[in-house]
């Protein structure tokens, strides 16, 4: 997969736990164009092991001089965000993938309802640049924990004017999805990015209010959870690979030199899907891509975030 070599031009502390990083291309050239809602996968070398995390681009698509991402520090995870916060400084060199968009604005929409929870605000910041340019009708509803977690609030006020609405959880202010989704004009599309309970609540509310599923869009990137060690057996490349508890199946395969397909690495796009031939245990699905029926059937797995509780898992690769 072709990659972009970038240099970190700027690092800003936005809140206690959020930093914004500005990347420019190492060779000084402009970066590839992208559309609002796109993400890139950032590679990090942590203790000799390659971590790859997806982050939404939050800068304006009109600007190809630099890309910006925001990273929320997650202390109880595998260390990608902590590495970004502690090790990445202006001048650090990183490799990122070309931008990919799994969360695009529907251009045929008459109106757009954007709903963000916490760091889920980032993809909307590049989408809003597009929506403003198109002169589209939209509303942004942004919920966060407390005043000190109000990342980018002033920028959003400047970008969106009275189209943005803030909800501060500690003040008891919550988004009322039933109210929000029950009086939108025909042709409205709704988009949500944030913590899983929020995403699920909005999807469920929209469904019960008769919104067709192709008018409701969501994006969630999961980090691969930590689990138990197991062995994956690749039938075509005839390899046996041990997946340690703190590594994803995809990372373990890459470490073993297998050229496995991937795109988002967050369980959203389905590009890395593998056929499960057999296992002596249970699959632990953590993706947002497979349907519930597919997950239950147990013959497919997304190795970027999902793993297995077993001794051996045989996949067709």
> By the criterion CB under 8 A, which residues form the site for other proteins?
108-110, 181-188, 207-212, 214-215
- Return the SS3 of 215: helix
How far apart are the two ends of the chain, measured CA to CA in Å? 18
Q: How far is the CB of 213 from other proteins (least distance, A)?
A: 9
Q: How far is the CB of 106 from other proteins (least distance, A)?
A: 9
Q: How far is the CB of 149 from other proteins (least distance, A)?
A: 30
Instruction: Decide whether 134 or 297 has the Cβ nearer to other proteins.
Output: 134
Instruction: Decide whether 186 or 293 has the Cβ nearer to other proteins.
Output: 186
Give burial (CB, 10 Å; 0-12/13-18/19+) of 204: exposed
Q: How far is the CB of 143 from other proteins (least distance, A)?
A: 21
Instruction: Decide whether 72 or 217 has the Cβ nearer to other proteins.
Output: 217
Instruction: Decide whether 180 or 272 has the Cβ nearer to other proteins.
Output: 180
Residue 100 has, within 13 A of its CA and on its CB side, a CA count of 20
Instruction: Decide whether 136 or 256 has the Cβ nearer to other proteins.
Output: 136
Nearest Cα to Cα of residue 68 among 36, 44, 43:
36
Q: DSSP letters along 82-124, please?
A: HHHHHH--TT-EEEEEPPEESS---TT-SEEEEEEEGGGGHHH
Q: How far is the CB of 181 from other proteins (least distance, A)?
A: 7
Return the number of other C-beta atoms located less than 10 Å from residue 291's C-beta: 9
Instruction: Decide whether 4 or 202 has the Cβ nearer to other proteins.
Output: 202
Q: How far is the CB of 38 from other proteins (least distance, A)?
A: 24
Q: Which backbone phi and psi does 252 adopt, to 5 degrees? A: -65, -40
Q: How far is the CB of 201 from other proteins (least distance, A)?
A: 16
Nearest Cα to Cα of residue 268 among 232, 219, 216:
219
Instruction: Decide whether 93 or 107 has the Cβ nearer to other proteins.
Output: 107
Distances from the Cα of 113 to the Cα of 138, 140, 188, 201, angstroms: 6, 6, 7, 15
């Amino acid at each position: 997969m072709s990659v972009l070599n970038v240099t970190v031009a700027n690092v800003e502390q936005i809140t206690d736990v959020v930093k914004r990083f500005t990347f420019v291309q190492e060779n000084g050239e402009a970066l590839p164009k992208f559309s609002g809602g796109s993400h890139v996968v950032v590679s990090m070398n942590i203790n000799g092991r390659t971590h790859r995390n997806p982050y939404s681009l939050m800068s304006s698509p009109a600007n190809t001089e630099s890309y910006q991402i925001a990273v929320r520090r997650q202390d109880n995870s595998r260390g990608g965000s902590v590495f970004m916060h502690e090790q990445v400084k202006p001048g650090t060199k990183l490799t990122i993938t070309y931008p990919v968009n799994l969360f695009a604005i529907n251009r045929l929409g008459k109106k757009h309802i954007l709903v963000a929870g916490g760091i889920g605000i980032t993809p909307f910041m590049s989408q809003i640049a597009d929506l403003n340019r198109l002169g589209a009708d939209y509303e942004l509803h942004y919920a966060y924990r407390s005043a000190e977690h109000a990342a980018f609030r002033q920028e959003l006020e400047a970008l969106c004017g009275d189209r943005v609405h803030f909800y501060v959880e500690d003040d008891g202010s919550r988004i009322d999805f039933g109210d929000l989704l029950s009086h939108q004009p025909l042709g409205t599309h709704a988009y949500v990015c944030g913590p899983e309970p929020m995403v699920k609540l909005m999807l469920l509310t929209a469904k019960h209010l008769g919104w067709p599923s192709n008018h409701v869009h969501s994006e969630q990137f999961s980090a691969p959870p930590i689990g138990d060690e197991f062995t994956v057996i690749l039938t075509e490349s005839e390899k046996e690979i041990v997946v340690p508890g703190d590594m994803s199946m995809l990372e373990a395969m890459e470490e073993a030199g297998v050229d496995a397909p991937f795109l988002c690495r967050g369980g959203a796009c389905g590009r890395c899907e593998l056929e499960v031939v057999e296992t002596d245990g249970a699959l632990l699905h953590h993706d947002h891509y497979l349907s519930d029926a597919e997950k239950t059937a147990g013959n497919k797995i997304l190795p970027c975030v999902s793993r297995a509780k077993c001794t051996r898992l045989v996949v067709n690769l």
